[in-house]
């Protein structure tokens, strides 16, 4: 009889450990999927920026430095996204992406200031459409980032709870996932102002 009780206790503990493992996997997959949504929106933004710059080039030929700064910042952000996509939640990758996004935000702000000086550009239909798409994409990025940070928080909270905190490292869930935070969070949270 005691053997049966011991066996039942071991079986219950085994199911408990399996439940913890499965929950860790589910939560990790959830934040990785949330990052994939951010990746989609950032790629959309990175695809829109060259179109915006090409449309502006015709009007602002002598503002080449500003336009090149936007393209260079966009390329750096795209490279940062590629690194972060390989390991969402990694602190170094998220830091690199955050820095690149801050540089891109600054370059886009400078472009917006320069474009204010060109009334013909403000009235251009392509420019207005690109501006609206860019603003819409910025909103999508913000929502996707919020969902990612929520998923990372749920994963980290679960992983840091007892008894998961004891078991998680042995299941390959040692380091906490990193939230996606930008250096200048107030500037990045607001959609860029592309006013015409």
Concatenating the DSSP letter of every residue in 56-98 gives HHTT-GGGHHHHHHHHHHHHHHHHHHHHHHHSTT-HHHHHHHH
Which among 102, 185, 192 is positioned nearest to 149, based on CA atoms?
Answer: 185
What are 38-54's pLDDT values in tens digits?
888 888 888 888 877 77
Question: What pLDDT does residue 17 have?
Answer: 92
Question: What pLDDT does residue 187 have?
Answer: 42
For residues 120-158, one letter each, b for 16 or more C-beta atoms within 10 angstroms of the residue's C-beta and e for the rest, the string is: ebbebeebeebbebbeebbebbbebbebbbebbebbbeb
What are 129-162's pLDDT values in tens digits?
777 787 888 888 888 888 888 999 999 989 888 9
CATH code reported for the domain at 25-189: 1.20.1440.20
Instruction: Report which DSSP code applies to 194.
Output: -
Rounded to 10°, the helix 91-115/2-57 angle is 20
Q: Where are the domains of the chain?
A: 25-189
Whether the Cβ atoms of residue 162 and residue 104 lie closer than 8 Å to each other: no
Question: What pLDDT does residue 114 have?
Answer: 72
Question: What pLDDT does residue 138 have?
Answer: 83
Q: Tell me if the pTM is above 0.85.
A: no
Q: What is the mean pLDDT of each run of 10 residues along the chain (196 residues)?
A: 90 93 92 89 86 72 76 89 84 86 85 71 66 81 88 90 87 84 52 46
Question: What pLDDT does residue 89 have?
Answer: 76
């Amino acid at each position: 009889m005691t053997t049966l009780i011991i066996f039942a206790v071991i079986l219950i503990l085994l199911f408990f450990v399996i439940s913890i493992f499965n929950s860790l996997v589910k939560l990790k997959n959830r934040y990785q999927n949330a990052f994939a949504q951010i990746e989609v929106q950032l790629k959309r933004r990175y695809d829109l920026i060259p179109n915006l710059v090409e449309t502006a080039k015709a009007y602002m030929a002598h503002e080449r430095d500003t336009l090149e700064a936007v393209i260079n910042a966009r390329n750096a952000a795209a490279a940062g996204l590629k690194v972060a996509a390989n390991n969402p939640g990694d602190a170094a990758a998220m830091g690199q992406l955050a820095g690149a996004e801050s540089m891109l935000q600054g370059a886009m702000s400078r472009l917006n200031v320069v474009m204010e000086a060109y009334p013909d550009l403000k009235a251009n239909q392509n420019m207005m459409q690109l501006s609206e798409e860019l603003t819409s994409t910025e909103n999508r990025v913000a929502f996707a980032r919020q969902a990612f940070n929520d998923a990372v928080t749920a994963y980290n909270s679960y992983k840091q709870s007892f008894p998961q905190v004891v078991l998680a490292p042995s299941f390959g869930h040692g380091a906490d996932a990193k939230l996606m935070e930008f250096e200048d969070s107030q500037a990045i949270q607001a959609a860029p102002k592309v006013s015409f």
